[in-house]
């Protein structure tokens, strides 16, 4: 027997939940690296502009589809557009089903480091002697990454089982303020460290030469790709969260605040990461861009090594930083899992708790492949980010812009007296710019994977 549709208790609850979904691990390591690589302030300016235009357009569209249909992404598109659009819902559901297991593996790594630094800060233990070797040994062990992954999944599923109001909403009401305060505190502290000024200058001053040939085009594509993934678009999350939104809440009002919160944390992460990495790289004679290009290794190898140079206070800084990373990882995992569980409930008409339990079992079993093999994790990540998500986003834009129509989306956006400014520009962006620009992301990502020319980003 299906349960009645859940709903957020208020407008602020929805904003916190959606912002928590958008603010994830990509904000904390990928944005600083891309900003450093693609021209510093130039990248930031382009990113902000795209977030508040194209990002806003796709964000309000997904939320409107969810609220209008009162369904998760799996069934929303076929309900509103007929069976010929069911593929968009299916693809948007496949994405979080594939991401959730390997994201939990990375979440398990975060829990491991958080536990280590909590114990070190409490006992005054010395810093990790060789962070690179420590991480490689941990990942290669197989067993412990699997254990921490399962623990991370158990935490996520327990919150999902509690429901929208008692689980997701209450957790985000605590974690989001903690995330913002921790990020702000760390950024302010790091900005006043010796040598930080050079890193801040490197971060903020525009320098198109860093992007290499085709600089402006690569900056644009890099910023657009980061914006697209950062706002949790084409993952079913915003459709699902929109389906819980009250009719008297303003979608445009909420979307602006979600985009601003996500952008604020992304930019703030640069002030947390780049000054210390830049100062450390210069002191070791390493190119800062190379040091920032470490991917996940930036979080688990480079930064722990840097924190280790701060002496006793290093463990405290590391504990604060990995607490921040944990908040971001868990809140994003909750949103992805909720999109999957809601899809199961809507399609099968089953209750939340058994759906959440079996989804958790699925995540543990499939996550083992990524926990035991970094190559598997990287492969799944590439398939999802380079192909499935852009194709799903193109489908959403075509559905909303040409089949369902911008007018129908506008009706939902302006329900109960809400105001949507620049409606003509919104319609043009949804019909023309969104499909074309997301197609550009798809092409650039495929070029990156295949190593084709200067357009790979």
Instruction: Please write the tens of the pLDDT for every residue from 154-211.
Output: 999 999 999 999 999 999 999 999 999 999 999 999 999 888 999 999 899 988 777 6
Give domain status of residue 213, yes or no. Answer: yes
Percent of residues, the chain, with pLDDT higher than 90: 64
Instruction: Please write the tens of the pLDDT for every residue from 76-107.
Output: 999 999 999 999 999 999 999 999 999 999 99
Greater model confidence, 87 or 278:
87
d(CA 66, CA 72): 6
pLDDT value of residue 3 = 60
Instruction: Please write the tens of the pLDDT for every residue from 48-68.
Output: 999 999 999 999 999 999 999
> What range does the domain containing 435 cover?
11-450
pLDDT over 60 (residue 268): yes
Output the CA–CA distances (angstroms, integers) from residue 322 to 33, 96, 327, 384, 394, in the order listed: 18, 24, 8, 26, 35
pLDDT over 80 (residue 415): yes
Q: Which of 401, 452, 396 is nearest to 431 (CA)?
A: 401
Instruction: Please write the tens of the pLDDT for every residue from 348-404.
Output: 999 999 999 999 999 999 999 999 998 898 899 888 988 899 999 999 999 999 999
pLDDT band per the 50, 70, 90 thresholds, residue 453: low
Least confident of 11-25, 112-126, 221-235, 258-272: 221-235
pLDDT value of residue 312 = 82
pLDDT band per the 50, 70, 90 thresholds, residue 295: low
Give domain status of residue 456, yes or no. Answer: no
pLDDT value of residue 440 = 86
Give domain status of residue 26, yes or no. Answer: yes
Give domain status of residue 424, yes or no. Answer: yes
Instruction: Please write the tens of the pLDDT for every residue from 137-158.
Output: 999 998 999 999 999 999 999 9
Mean pLDDT of 242-268: 93
Mean pLDDT of 126-136: 89
Least confident of 220-229, 358-367, 425-434: 220-229
Q: Which of 396, 383, 360 is nearest to 87 (CA)?
A: 396
Give domain status of residue 457, yes or no. Answer: no
Max mean pLDDT among 284-288, 293-297, 415-419, 424-428 falls in 424-428
Number of domains in the chain: 1
pLDDT over 60 (residue 454): no
Give me the CATH number covering residue 355.
1.10.4160
Give domain status of residue 1, yes or no. Answer: no
Mean pLDDT of 247-271: 92
d(CA 59, CA 434): 11
Residue 168 CA to chain centroid, in angstroms? 17
| This prediction's pTM | 0.92
- What rounded mean pLDDT belongs to the chain? 90
Least confident of 19-23, 220-224, 367-371: 220-224
pLDDT band per the 50, 70, 90 thresholds, residue 418: confident
pLDDT band per the 50, 70, 90 thresholds, residue 457: very low
pLDDT value of residue 137 = 94
Three-class secondary structure assignment of the chain: CCCCCCCCCCHHHHHHHHHHHHCCHHHHHHHHHHHHHCCCHHHHHHHHHHHHHHHHHHHHHHHHHHHHHCCCHHHHHHHHHCHHHHHHHHHHHHHHHHHHHHHHHHHHHHHHHHHHHHHHHHHCCCCCCCHHHHHHHHHHHCHHHHHHHHHHHHHHHHHHHCCHHHHHHHHHHHHHHHHHHHHHHHHHHHHCCCCHHHHHHHHHCCCHHHHCCCHHHHHHHHHHHHHHHHCCCCCCHHHHHHHCCCCCCCHHHHHHHHHHHHHHHHHHHHHHHHHHHHHHHHHHCCCHHHHHCCCHHHHHHHHHHHHHHHCHHHHHHHHHHHHHHHHHHHHHHHHHHHHHHHHHHHHHCCCHHHHHHHHHHHHHHHHHHHHHCHHHHHHHHHHHHHHHHHHHHHHHHHHHHHHCCHHHHHHHHCHHHCCCCCHHHHHHHHHHHHHHHHHHHHHHHHHHHHCCCCCCC
pLDDT over 50 (residue 1): no
pLDDT over 70 (residue 2): no
Spell out the alpha helix ranges (H) of 53-142. Answer: 56-69, 73-81, 86-123, 131-141
Give domain status of residue 3, yes or no. Answer: no
Mean pLDDT of 318-336: 95
d(CA 20, CA 238): 11
pLDDT over 60 (residue 325): yes
Cβ 342 vs Cβ 148: under 8 Å:
no
Give domain status of residue 21, yes or no. Answer: yes
pLDDT value of residue 371 = 94
């Amino acid at each position: 027997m299906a349960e009645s549709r859940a709903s957020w208790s208020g407008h602020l609850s929805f904003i916190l939940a959606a912002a928590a979904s958008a603010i994830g691990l990509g904000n904390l390591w990928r944005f600083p690296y891309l900003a450093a690589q693609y021209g510093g302030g130039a990248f930031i300016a382009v990113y902000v502009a795209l977030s508040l235009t194209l990002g806003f357009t796709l964000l309000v569209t997904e939320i409107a589809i969810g609220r209008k249909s009162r369904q998760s992404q799996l069934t929303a598109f076929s309900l509103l557009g007929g069976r010929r659009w069911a593929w968009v819902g299916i693809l948007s559901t496949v994405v979080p089903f594939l991401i959730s297991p390997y994201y939990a593996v990375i979440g398990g790594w975060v829990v491991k480091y958080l536990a280590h630094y909590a114990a070190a800060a409490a006992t005054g233990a010395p810093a990790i002697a060789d962070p690179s070797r420590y991480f490689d040994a941990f990942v290669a062990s197989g067993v412990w990454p699997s254990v921490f992954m399962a623990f991370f999944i158990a935490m996520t599923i327990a919150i999902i089982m509690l429901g929208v109001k008692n689980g997701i909403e209450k957790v985000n009401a605590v974690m989001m303020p903690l995330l913002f305060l921790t990020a702000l505190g760390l950024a302010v502290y790091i900005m006043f460290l010796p040598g930080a000024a050079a890193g801040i200058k490197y971060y903020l001053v525009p320098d198109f030469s860093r992007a290499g040939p085709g600089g402006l085009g690569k900056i644009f594509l890099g910023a657009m790709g980061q914006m697209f993934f950062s706002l949790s678009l084409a993952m079913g999350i915003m459709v699902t969260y929109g389906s819980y939104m009250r009719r008297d809440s303003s979608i445009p009002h909420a979307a602006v605040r979600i985009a601003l919160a996500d952008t604020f944390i992304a930019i703030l992460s640069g002030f947390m990461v780049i000054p210390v990495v830049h100062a450390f790289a210069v002191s070791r004679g390493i190119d800062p861009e190379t040091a920032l290009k470490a991917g996940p290794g930036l979080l688990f190898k480079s930064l722990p090594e840097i924190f280790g140079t701060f002496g006793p206070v290093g463990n405290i800084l590391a504990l604060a930083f990995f607490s921040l990373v944990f908040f971001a990882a868990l809140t994003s995992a909750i949103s992805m899992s909720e999109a999957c569980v809601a899809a199961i409930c809507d399609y099968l008409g089953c209750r939340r708790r058994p759906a959440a339990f079996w989804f958790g079992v699925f995540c543990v079993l499939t996550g083992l492949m990524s926990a035991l093999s970094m190559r598997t994790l990287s492969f799944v990540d590439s398939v999802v980010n380079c192909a499935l998500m852009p194709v799903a986003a193109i489908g959403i834009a075509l559905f909303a812009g040409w089949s369902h129509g911008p007018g129908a989306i506008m009706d939902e956006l302006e329900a109960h007296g809400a105001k949507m400014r620049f409606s003509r520009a919104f319609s043009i962006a949804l019909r023309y710019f969104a499909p074309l620009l997301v197609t550009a992301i798809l092409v650039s990502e495929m070029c990156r994977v295949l190593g084709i020319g200067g357009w790979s980003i």
